[in-house]
Amino acid sequence: MTVEQKVQQLHHYVNGEKVAGKSGNYASVYNPSKGEEIARVPLATREEVSEAIATAKAAFKGWRNTSVGKRVEILHRFRQLLVENEQELTELICTESGKTREDAKGEITRGLESVDMAIAAPQMLKGEYSVNVGGHINAFSRKDALGVVGTIAPFNFPVMVPLAITSMAVAVGNAVILKPSEKVPMSALFLCELWEKAGLPKGVWTVINGGKEAVDELLENKDVQAISFVGSTPIAEYIYATGTKHGKRVAAFGGGKNFMVIMPDADLEQTANAFLGAAYGAASQRCMAISGAIPVGEDTANRFVAILKEKISQLKVGDYQEAGVDFGPVITQQSKDVVIESIERAISESAEVVVDGRDWDIVKESKGFFVGPTLLDHVQPGMHAYEQEVFGPVRIVTRVSTLQEAIDLINAHELGNGVTIFTNNGGAARHFEDEIDVGMVGVNVPIPIPVGYHNFGGFKRSKFGEGHMFGPDQARFFTKTKTISEKWLTADEHATTAFSFPSNQDA
C-alpha cells in the first residue's frame, strides 16, 4: 500500500486475505489537508460481517490453544515491525487524518505501550491455587479467552486506539475483529500486513470496514462475546445499551469536556504553553484535549487570557508537509462546518471572542478542512460551547472566584473524562484530587492520559461499562475466570454419598 496512489480502492481483511467489498456501497476517504479524495472504502453488509465473524470463530480454538509464550513471541515480532515501519505508518496517519508528523509519531509511540503491556500477558493470565481447601480438594482458577471480540475505533487515532483495544485481546487468546473508522481505514489495513508478517495465524485478526450496519451486526451477533468501543458519547451509549441487551461484555469510551483549573499561584507563562499544546494539538480532535480553562480569580483570568491571546496568534496551522506546523485540519468538511457553527452560536450566546479561528487566511483560501485556533472568554454553564464537546480548535474560558467553585462546576458536568490543575500549592492539589469526580486527573500535567500499564477510563457519561483501555484491567476484560475444585481418590479411599452442603470442615 502506498500513499502516492491517487484514489485507492480499499478492501476488508478476512482470514489473512484482502477481500473486496460485496455491498456496492463505498465511503470516500479524504486527505483533510488537501480536501481531496484519496481512497474509497467498501462498507460491509451484515452478511459480510457475519461471514467474517464465522471465520474468526473457526480460528479462535487454535489460537486459544496456542501457548501464551508462542502468542507473545508473535507480539514481539509485531512490535518490531511497527518500529521498522514507523515512517510509512506515520505518512499514512498524516495523509488520512491531517496530523503533523510529530503528532503521528507520538501516537505510534503510545500505541507501542499497549503492545508492551500485551507482551506481559503471561503475568496477567496467572490464576490462583489453594491446596487442600477441605477433604483433600485443591481449588484453582484460570483465565480463559472469551472467543470472538469486536473492537470499534474512532478517526482521531488511526493507530493508537486500534492497538490499545486489540493488542491485549490478541495476546490472551481471542480472535479479534476491528472496525476502524471509515474516515481513516488505511492505517488499520497496514497493521494487517504487519500482523501477517509477524506470523499471526489466519482469522485471528480481521478488519471489516463499514458503518452502522456493520456495527449492528457486531453488537447483535451471538458469536461476538465482547465489544470495545472508542468514540463520541451518544454512540458510546448506543453501543453499550445495544451490546449489553444482546448479552455482551461492553466497554464503551465516550467524549470528554476536560477542564484546566489555573490557580493564582501558578506560573502563567508555563501554564499557557501547556494549555496551547493540550488544547489545540491535533486540531483539538482528542477526547483528552483540554476543552477549557477555569482560572481562579479575575486577576488570574485577565493575565492568563492576555498571555494566551498573544501565543495563539503565533500558532501555525497548515499541511503536515509544511515546516513548523503546530496542527492541521479537522477531519472532514462537515466537521469544519460544525466547528464554525459552534463559534457563531457562542457569539449569539454572548461569549466574548478573544481569537477568531474563522479569520485565518488558510481557512478562507485552502481547499483543506482548516479551522484556526479560537478562544472564547466569559463562557458560562448552559451555553452550548460549555456543555458540548466541540471536536475542533474552539476552546473556552470560564471564570470562577474559588477553587471550590471550579470543582463544583466540573463535577456538575455530565462528562468526566480528564481534568487537570496547575498550581504550586500541594494542599490545593490534594483537595482537588480528593474532591474531583473525574476519571483521569492531572496536577501540572496538561493531558493526564495514563501510560500503557495504568488503566484508562473516565467517569459519568465519558465511559459506559466497567472495562478499561490500557492497563491490567484490559486482561480482565478480555478473559473470563473459571474456578476449579479438584480431588483425586487414592487407592485406599472410597467415594461415599453425602447430602450435606460441602464445607471446609470435611475430612
Is 192 designated active site?
A: no
Q: How many domains does the structure of the chain reveal?
A: 2
**What is the tens place of the pLDDT at every residue in 392-405?**
999 999 999 999 99
Q: Is 498 within the bounds of a domain?
A: no
pLDDT above 90: percentage of residues in the chain: 89
Domain match, 135 and 151 both: yes
Helices and strands: H and E segment counts in the chain: 17, 23
Q: 10-25 pLDDT, tens per residue?
A: 999 999 999 999 999 9
pLDDT computed for residue 2 by the predictor: 44
In terms of Cα–Cα distance, which of 99, 91, 96 is closest to 283? Answer: 99
Q: Does 198 lie in the same domain as 121? A: yes
Strands 129-134 and 290-295: unpaired
- DSSP string covering 209-242: --SHHHHHHHHH-TTEEEEEEES-HHHHHHHHHH
Q: Looking at the structure, tell me whether residues 235 and 327 fall in a common domain.
A: no
Same-domain pairing of 208 and 117: yes
Within a domain: 505: no
Residue 68 predicted with pLDDT over 60 = yes
Q: Give the Cα separation of 98 and 267 in Å (integer).
A: 32
Q: Do 284 and 433 have their domain in common?
A: yes
Identify the pLDDT of residue 277: 95
Residues 438 and 469 in one domain: no
Q: What is the DSSP string of 187-201?
A: HHHHHHHHHHHHTPP
Q: Are 284 and 99 in contact (CB under 8 A)?
A: no
* Residue range 315-329: mean pLDDT, rounded: 96
> Averaged over 137-144, what is the pLDDT?
94
Assign residue 282 a region (left: φ > 0; alpha: ψ between -120 and 50; beta: otherwise): left
pLDDT at site 1: 42
Which residue among the candidates 27, 124, 287, 436 is catalytic per the annotation?
287
**pLDDT band per the 50, 70, 90 thresholds, residue 325:** very high
Q: Are residues 222 and 267 in the same domain?
A: no
Q: What is the pLDDT at residue 506?
A: 55
Q: For residue 437, which amino acid is it?
A: D
pLDDT band at 97 (very low <50, low <70, confident <90, very high): very high
Please state which of the ranges 87-101, 340-354, 449-463 shows the lowest mean pLDDT.
449-463
CATH number of the domain where residue 393 is located: 3.40.309.10
Residue 199's pLDDT is 98
Asked whether residue 492 is assigned to any structural domain, the reply reads: no
| Phi, psi (degrees; rounded to nearest 5) at 471 | 70, 180
Is the pLDDT at 3 greater than 50? The verdict is no
The grid coordinates of residue 196 equal 501477517
Q: How many CA atoms lie within 13 A of 97 on its CB side?
A: 34
Examine the domain organization and report whether 395 and 262 are in the same domain: yes
Q: Are residues 296 and 191 in the same domain?
A: no
Closest CA to 166 of 157, 154, 156, 153: 153
Q: Residue 373: its pLDDT value, please?
A: 97
Is residue 54 within a helix (H) or strand (E), and if so which, with residue range?
A: helix 46-64
The domain of 126 spans 8-254+462-483
Residue 204 shares a structural domain with residue 141: yes
How are beta strands 290-295 and 224-230 bridged, if at all?
unpaired
Task: Encode pLDDT of 172-191 as tens digits.
Answer: 999 999 999 999 999 999 99
Residue spans of alpha helices (H) in 247-324? 268-280, 298-312
- Domain presence at residue 450: no
> What's the mean pLDDT in 330-357?
97
The per-residue pLDDT for range 369-417, each reduced to its tens digit, is 999 999 999 999 999 999 999 999 999 999 999 999 999 999 999 999 9
Q: What is the pLDDT of residue 216?
A: 98
Answer yes or no: is 321 within a domain. yes
Q: pLDDT-based confidence at 507, cuts 50/70/90?
A: low
Give me the residues paired with residue 258 across strands: 290
Which segment of 28-37, 47-56, 120-129, 185-194 scores lowest on mean pLDDT? 120-129
Statement: the pTM of the whole predicted model exceeds 0.85: yes
Output the pLDDT for position 455. Answer: 84
We report the CATH number of the domain holding residue 479 as: 3.40.605.10
Question: Does some domain include residue 406?
Answer: yes
For range 342-356, the mean pLDDT: 97
Q: Decide if 421 contacts 314 (C-beta within 8 A).
A: no
Confidence class for position 498, pLDDT limits 50, 70, 90: confident
**Does residue 189 form part of some domain?**
yes
Are 335 and 364 in the same domain?
yes
Identify whether 503 is part of a domain: no
Question: With helix as H, strand as E and coil as C, how does 146-166 read?
Answer: CCEEEEECCCCCCCHHHHHHH
27 with 107, same domain? Answer: yes
